[in-house]
């Protein structure tokens, strides 16, 4: 009975989500229109028509090599993202609970954020050569601070009253963390994770391009060398599509599941 | 043997002594109301008794099996439904899953929540309903001692009285003892067997009064007359409405 109700609730949510895709489609159509206008103003060489770009992307996908490259870049980005999510979350939670660690890590963070990602790519290239490691390390260094800060915020802004409540009812430190604090931390952590995932993809492609490590970045470099605008734009579209696919398959469902209560609180008609 | 015994409890916040030499006992199935002016350290005392705050001096002897607490704010987890919140102590005490649903339903009913409210999130419930859920959460494990830390201060007068009746009924049927912190004298008289008055400066218990009869059997006129008598003629309650809001809690 309750299982059925839960399934129906999920289905309703999925339906609402799919229905909201019309708004997304309208936004995409707007971008397409601007793109087309730019194409008509500046010509094929500067900006290929959107339809031609789509055709080029489809051709790349059908030729087979594109899927391989997409998979390679996605795997690299996900590996870097996974690493940075793990390390950032663990370190952030630890620092959130220990003010001394937090005070120590603040300047480190400022320093890390101050170094441009491009510098890390150069260093990683020297250390690891054009390999997966270069990409992973660059992602790790450039995306971890965001996750770290999200986790720290989650710990620091948690409702301590709920901690006391759990303690009165007999929860030890571990179960207080698992049952009460973890949920509050995740609310702050998810936006940070989504941001980190996006930057993982961007940094992966940038690192590939500069380190000549293959993947989409490598293909992009080749398209630039050949001055093939249609192909370059096609690769960009494919990369964006991959990012969106990963975000909506991997992170959004988990977040929606954890934040069901927030949706319940929204008045009717405001539900997204 | 008293269920709860506080012996010469003292505590300080930021170097300022808020409690000193507090000794009190609560007997089996007895509801003790602790009244005192705002800022006299009533809540701190409840938190010390419940083990949330470590006292700077003194001893706490807890001889009950299981306690629960109703806080001033409901303190419900916003991400869990009413049923999830009420069942939280069961989850902590590792009660078998099969029994949980029935126990949650029972406790909710005793606190005046209907089965259809159980699936709602706290943000979908009104203030009174949230406090009902908090009371149900305190009742669900069948504790033999419940701390009430000014639980109805934020509610309006009608709702407050309904909640008081609810507590009186629950105490009569479930036979728990309670330490009921309040600064509302009327509430203290309605709900308790014994009223303790905390010294305005937190230096010991100033005294105690036993309202005649049992909670739930006193009629409203008598309760009101007793309150008037306490406030006008009894020196023990002279400072009960003194407030210094600049003091820290």
CA distances from B17 to B22, B55, B249 (A): 12, 11, 11
Whether B80 is covered by a domain: the verdict is: yes
pLDDT value at B248 more than 90:
no
> Is B249 within 8 Å of chain A by CB?
no
DSSP B216: T
Alpha helices in chain B (DSSP H): 42-50, 82-86, 88-92, 97-110, 127-139, 157-174, 185-191, 220-233
Residues on chain B touching A167 (C-beta within 8 angstroms): 51-52
| Closest chain B residue by Cα to residue A172 | B92
CB proximity list for B78: less than 8 A, separation 6 or greater: A261, A265, B121, B122, B123
What's the first-to-final CA gap in chain A, in angstroms?
A: 27
pLDDT 10s digits, A157-197? 999 999 999 999 999 999 999 999 999 999 899 999 999 99
Q: Tally the residues of chain B.
A: 249
Q: Tally the residues of chain A.
A: 272
pLDDT value at A125 more than 70:
yes
Give the pLDDT band (50/70/90) at residue A10: confident
Which of B68, B91, B123 is the closest to A261 by Cβ? B123
Measured in degrees and rounded to the nearest 5, phi and psi for residue B64 equal -85, 170
Which of A5, A169, A261 is the closest to B121 by Cβ? A261
CB proximity list for A253: less than 8 A, separation 6 or greater: none
> Is B79 within 8 Å of chain A by CB?
yes
| Closest chain B residue by Cα to residue A178 | B92
Give the pLDDT band (50/70/90) at residue A272: very low
| Closest chain A residue by Cα to residue B90 | A169
CB B48 within 8 A of CB B55: yes
Which of B52, B68, B79 is the closest to A261 by Cβ? B79
> Is B93 within 8 Å of chain A by CB?
yes
Residues on chain A touching B137 (C-beta within 8 angstroms): 169
Q: What is the CATH number of the domain that holds B79?
A: 3.40.50.300
Whether B74 is covered by a domain: the verdict is: yes
Which of B52, B71, B123 is the closest to A264 by Cβ? B123
Q: How many angstroms separate the CA atoms of A168 and B66, rounded?
A: 10
> Is B147 within 8 Å of chain A by CB?
yes
- For A201, the token pair is 């993809």
pLDDT 10s digits, B26-60? 999 999 999 988 777 888 999 999 999 999 999 99
Least reliable range by pLDDT among A9-18, A28-37, B64-73, B94-103: A9-18
Which of B69, B77, B137 is the closest to A180 by Cβ? B77
pLDDT at B244: 61
> Is B65 within 8 Å of chain A by CB?
no
pLDDT at A34: 95
Nearest CA to CA, how far is B69 from chain A (Å)? Answer: 7
Whether B242 is covered by a domain: the verdict is: no
The verdict on a CB contact (< 8 Å) between B89 and A167 is no
> Is B64 within 8 Å of chain A by CB?
no
Range of the domain at B132: 4-237
Residues on chain A touching B93 (C-beta within 8 angstroms): 170
Q: How many angstroms separate the CA atoms of B47 and B41, rounded?
A: 10
Question: Which of A235-242's residues contact partners 24+ apart within 8 Å by CB, and which partners?
Answer: A235/A57, A235/A60, A237/A53, A237/A54, A237/A57, A238/A57, A238/A60, A238/A61, A238/A66, A238/A70, A239/A70, A239/A73, A239/A201, A239/A205, A242/A70, A242/A73, A242/A74, A242/A201
Q: At what angle do helices A2-19 and A21-42 cross, to 10 degrees?
A: 20
Helix (H, G, I), strand (E, B) or coil at B1: coil
The verdict on a CB contact (< 8 Å) between B88 and A265 is no
| Closest chain B residue by Cα to residue A5 | B119
| Closest chain A residue by Cα to residue B82 | A261
Whether B166 is covered by a domain: the verdict is: yes
A95: left (phi over 0), alpha (psi -120 to 50) or beta: alpha
Whether B124 is covered by a domain: the verdict is: yes
Residues on chain A touching B81 (C-beta within 8 angstroms): 261
pLDDT 10s digits, A204-263? 999 999 888 888 999 999 998 998 888 899 999 999 998 888 888 888 888 888 888 887
3-state secondary structure B55-84: CCEEEEEECCCCEEEECCCCCCCCCCCHHH
Mean pLDDT confidence for B129-146 = 94
Whether B46 is covered by a domain: the verdict is: yes
> Is B123 within 8 Å of chain A by CB?
yes
Whether B243 is covered by a domain: the verdict is: no
Give the number of domains in chain B. 1
> Is A1 within 8 Å of chain B by CB?
no
| Closest chain B residue by Cα to residue A176 | B92
The verdict on a CB contact (< 8 Å) between B77 and A162 is yes
The verdict on a CB contact (< 8 Å) between A264 and B121 is yes
């Amino acid at each position: 009975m309750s299982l059925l109700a839960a399934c129906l609730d999920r289905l309703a949510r999925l339906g609402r989500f799919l229905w909201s895709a019309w708004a997304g489609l309208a936004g995409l159509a707007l971008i397409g229109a601007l793109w087309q206008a730019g194409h008509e103003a500046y010509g094929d060489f500067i900006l290929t028509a959107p339809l031609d770009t789509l055709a080029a992307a489809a051709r790349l996908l059908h030729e087979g090599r594109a899927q391989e490259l997409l998979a390679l870049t996605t795997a690299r980005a996900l590996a870097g993202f996974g690493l940075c999510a793990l390390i950032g979350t663990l370190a952030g939670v630890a620092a959130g609970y220990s003010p001394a660690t937090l005070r120590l890590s603040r300047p480190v963070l400022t320093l890390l954020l101050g170094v441009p990602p491009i510098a890390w790519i150069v260093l990683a290239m020297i250390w690891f050569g054009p390999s997966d490691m270069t990409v992973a390390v660059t992602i790790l260094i450039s995306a971890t601070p965001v996750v770290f800060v999200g986790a720290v915020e989650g710990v620091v802004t948690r409702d301590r009253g709920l901690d006391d409540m759990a303690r009165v009812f007999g929860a030890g430190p571990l179960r207080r963390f698992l049952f009460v604090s973890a949920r509050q931390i995740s609310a702050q952590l998810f936006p940070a994770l989504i941001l980190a995932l996006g930057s993982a993809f961007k940094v992966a492609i940038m690192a590939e391009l500069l380190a000549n490590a293959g993947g989409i970045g490598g293909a992009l470099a080749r398209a630039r060398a050949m001055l093939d605008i249609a192909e370059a734009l096609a690769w960009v579209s494919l990369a964006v599509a991959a990012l969106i696919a990963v975000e909506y398959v991997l992170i959004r469902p988990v977040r929606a599941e954890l934040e069901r209560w927030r949706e319940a609180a929204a008045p009717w008609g405001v539900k997204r | 043997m008293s269920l709860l015994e506080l012996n010469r409890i003292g505590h300080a916040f930021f170097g300022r002594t808020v409690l000193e030499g507090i000794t009190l006992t609560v007997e089996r199935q007895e509801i003790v109301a602790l009244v005192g002016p705002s800022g006299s350290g009533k809540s701190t005392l409840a938190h010390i008794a419940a083990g949330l705050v470590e006292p700077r001096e003194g001893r706490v002897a807890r001889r009950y099996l299981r306690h629960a607490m109703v806080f001033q704010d409901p303190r419900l987890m916003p991400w869990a439904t009413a049923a999830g919140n009420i069942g939280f102590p069961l989850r902590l005490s590792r009660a078998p899953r099969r029994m949980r649903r029935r126990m949650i339903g029972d406790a909710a009913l005793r606190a005046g929540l209907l089965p259809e409210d159980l699936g709602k999130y706290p943000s979908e419930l009104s203030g009174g309903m949230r406090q009902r859920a908090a009371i149900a959460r305190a009742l669900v494990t069948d504790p033999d001692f419940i701390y009430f830390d000014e639980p109805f201060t934020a509610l309006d007068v009608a709702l407050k009285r309904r909640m008081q009746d609810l507590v009186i009924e629950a105490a009569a049927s479930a036979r728990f003892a309670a330490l009921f912190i309040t600064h509302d004298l009327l509430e203290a008289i309605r709900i308790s067997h014994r009223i303790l008055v905390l010294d305005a400066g937190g230096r010991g218990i100033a005294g105690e009064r036993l309202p005649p009869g049992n909670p739930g059997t006193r009629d409203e006129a008598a309760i009101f007359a007793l309150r008037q008598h306490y406030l006008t003629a009894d020196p023990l309650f002279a400072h009960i409405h003194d407030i210094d809001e600049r003091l820290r809690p």
